[in-house]
Chain A
Amino acid sequence: MDPFLNSGDTAWMLISTALVILMTIPGVALFYGGLIRRENVLNTIFLSFISFAIVSIIWFVYGYDLAFGADIWGFIGTLANPLFGGVIESNSLSTYAPTIPTGLYAVFQMTFAAITVALISGAVVERMKFSAWLAFIPVWITLVYIPVSHWMWGGGWLAQMGALDFAGGTVVHVNCGMAALALVLLLGARKNSQLLPHHLGYSIIGTGLLWFGWFGFNAGSALGATNLAVSAMIVTNMSAAVGMITWILMDKLETGKPTLLGALSGAIAGLAAITPAAGYVNITAAIIIGFIASICAYYAVSHLKPRLGYDDSLDVFGIHGVCGIVGTLAVGIFATPLINSAIKGGLIAGNPGQIGIQLLAVLVIGVYAFVMTLIIGKIIDMTIGLRVETKDEVQGLDINLHEESGYRLS
Chain B
Amino acid sequence: MKKILAIIRPDKLEEVKEALEGIGCHGLTVKEVRGRGRQLGITESYRGHDYKVDLLPKTEIEIVTKEDDIENIIQTIITKAQTGDIGDGKIFISSVEEVIRIRTGERGEKAV
The chain A residues found within 8 Å of chain B, CB to CB, are 194-197, 250-251, 254-255, 257, 259, 261-262, 265, 298, 301-303, 306, 315
Contact = CB atoms under 8 A, between A and B. Distances in A.
Interface of B: 44-51, 53
Given A195-B47, A195-B49, A301-B47, 14 more contacts: A195-B46, A196-B44, A196-B51, A197-B46, A251-B45, A255-B48, A259-B45, A262-B47, A265-B47, A298-B47, A298-B48, A302-B47, A302-B49, A303-B48
A142 B50 CA distance: 39
B19 to A, nearest CB: 27
A261 B53 CA distance: 17
Nearest to A298: B48
A259 B48 CA distance: 9
A255 B45 contact: yes
Contacts of A259: 45-47
A250 B46 CA distance: 12
Nearest to A195: B46
A315 B48 contact: no
A257 B44 contact: no
B93 to A, nearest CB: 29
B47 A254 contact: no
13 contacts: A195-B46, A196-B51, A250-B48, A251-B48, A254-B48, A257-B45, A259-B46, A261-B47, A265-B47, A298-B48, A301-B48, A302-B48, A306-B49
A251 B47 CA distance: 8
A261 B49 contact: no
A303 B50 CA distance: 11
Contacts of A255: 45, 48, 50
Nearest to A255: B45
Contacts, number: 38
B45 A315 contact: no
A162 B51 CA distance: 45
Nearest to B53: A196
Contacts of A301: 47-49
A306 B45 CA distance: 14
A298 B47 CA distance: 7
Contact of B51 (A194, A251, A303, A315): A194
A196 B44 CA distance: 8
Contacts of A195: 46-47, 49, 51
B96 to A, nearest CB: 27
Contacts of B45: 251, 255, 257, 259
B49 A196 contact: no
Nearest to A253: B48
Contacts of B49: 195, 301-302, 306
A200 to B, nearest CB: 9
Contacts of B51: 194-196
Contacts of A254: 48
A408 to B, nearest CB: 15
Nearest to B45: A255
A23 B50 CA distance: 29
Contacts of A302: 47-49
In order of increasing CB-CB distance, the 10 nearest A-B pairs are A302-B48, A195-B46, A255-B45, A301-B47, A194-B51, A302-B49, A261-B46, A254-B48, A298-B48, A265-B47
B46 A196 contact: yes
Contacts of B50: 255
Contacts of A265: 47
B27 to A, nearest CB: 21
Nearest to A258: B45
A301 B51 CA distance: 14
Nearest to A319: B47
A302 B49 CA distance: 6
Nearest to B51: A194
Nearest to B48: A302
A367 to B, nearest CB: 27
A199 to B, nearest CB: 13
B29 to A, nearest CB: 15
Nearest to A261: B46
Which of the listed residues A196, A197, A303 has the most CB atoms from chain B within 10 Å of its own CB? A196
B47 A315 contact: yes
A145 B94 CA distance: 66
B42 to A, nearest CB: 12
A55 to B, nearest CB: 28
Contacts of B47: 195, 259, 261-262, 265, 298, 301-302, 315
Nearest to B44: A196
Most chain-A Cβ atoms within 10 A of its Cβ — which of B44, B46, B48, B53? B48
